C-alpha cells in the first residue's frame, strides 16, 4: 500500500494539466506517508450518476471531453491510468473536471510489480478484456474504461451489469451492451457508435489514441 501510495505521488506529480489533480509534495512524517494535493471543491462524478441528475447531452460531452484531454496528456507522457471510473472523476463547483487517483497507474517506460489487487464489483464494470485476461495494456485500456464511463454517464446505466463479479467479467468478455441510443433517445446515433467503438472487446478495434476518441465525441 505504501509503495502504491508513493507511486501515485511520483507519477501524478509529474503531470501538470488542468484536468488532472495537481500533486504539490509528498513524503513521510513520523512514519506516516503523505501527499499534498490541490483542494478540490464539488463532488465525484459517481454521485451525479447515482442521483440521475438531469444534464443535457451537451454538458455530458463537455465532461467526457475534459477527461479525454487529461488522459491524452498522461498518455503522451507514457502513463496510463488503469482505473478510470466515475468515482475517480471530480466535477468542481465551477464546472471544471479533474481526474484523480493514479494509485495503480502504469508507466509504459518502466516495469513495475505493483498490480491491481482486490478487484471489487464497483471497479470490475470498467475493466477492459485485456485487463481481465492479464494481457499487455496500453492507452487503449483507458479508452475502454472511458467508453464504459461515457455509456454510464449518457444513460445512467452500466453497460455490463451483474450481481456477482464473475457475471460482470463474463459479460465484458462475451456480451455486447444494448445500444446507447436505444436506452436514451436523446443520444445521437453517431455518439452511440463512438462510445461503442471505445468499448470494442478487441484492443485493436478501439480508437488508437485518446485524441482520436475526443475528436469523435465532439
Catalytic-role residue among 44, 46, 83, 101: 83
Pick the closest to residue 159 from 192, 203, 208, 132 (CA basis). 192
Containing 26, the helix (H) or strand (E) segment is strand 23-29
Active site residue 83: yes
Q: Are 99 and 63 in contact (CB under 8 A)?
A: no
Q: Are 199 and 147 in contact (CB under 8 A)?
A: yes
> Which three cell numbers mark 139?
492507452
Q: How far apart are CA 118 and CA 17, in angstroms?
A: 30
For 23, 80, 124, 128, 165, the CA distances from 132, given in Å and listed in that order, are 30, 16, 9, 7, 11
Q: Are 129 and 103 in contact (CB under 8 A)?
A: no
Pick the closest to residue 41 from 85, 1, 94 (CA basis). 94
**What residues are labeled active site?**
83
Amino acid at each position: 500500500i505504501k509503495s502504491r501510495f508513493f507511486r501515485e505521488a511520483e507519477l501524478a506529480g509529474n503531470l501538470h494539466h488542468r484536468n488532472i489533480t495537481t500533486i504539490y509534495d509528498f513524503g513521510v512524517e513520523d512514519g506516516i506517508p503523505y501527499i499534498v494535493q490541490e483542494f478540490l471543491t464539488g463532488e465525484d462524478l459517481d454521485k451525479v450518476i447515482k442521483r440521475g441528475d438531469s444534464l443535457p447531452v451537451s454538458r455530458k460531452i463537455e465532461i467526457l471531453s475534459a477527461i479525454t484531454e487529461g488522459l491524452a496528456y498522461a498518455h503522451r507522457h507514457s502513463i496510463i491510468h488503469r482505473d478510470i471510473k466515475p468515482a475517480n472523476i471530480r466535477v468542481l463547483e465551477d464546472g471544471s473536471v479533474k481526474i484523480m487517483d493514479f494509485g495503480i497507474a502504469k508507466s509504459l517506460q518502466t516495469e513495475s510489480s505493483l498490480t491491481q489487487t482486490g478487484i471489487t464489483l464497483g471497479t470490475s464494470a470498467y475493466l477492459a478484456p485485456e485487463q481481465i485476461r492479464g494481457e499487455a495494456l496500453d492507452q487503449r485500456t483507458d479508452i475502454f474504461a472511458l467508453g464504459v464511463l461515457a455509456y454510464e454517464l449518457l444513460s445512467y446505466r452500466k453497460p455490463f451489469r451483474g450481481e456477482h463479479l464473475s457475471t460482470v467479467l463474463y459479460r465484458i468478455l462475451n456480451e455486447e451492451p444494448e445500444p446507447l441510443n436505444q436506452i436514451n433517445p436523446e443520444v445521437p446515433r453517431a455518439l452511440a457508435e463512438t462510445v461503442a467503438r471505445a468499448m470494442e472487446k478487441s484492443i485493436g478495434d478501439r480508437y488508437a489514441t485518446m485524441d482520436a476518441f475526443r475528436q469523435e465525441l465532439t
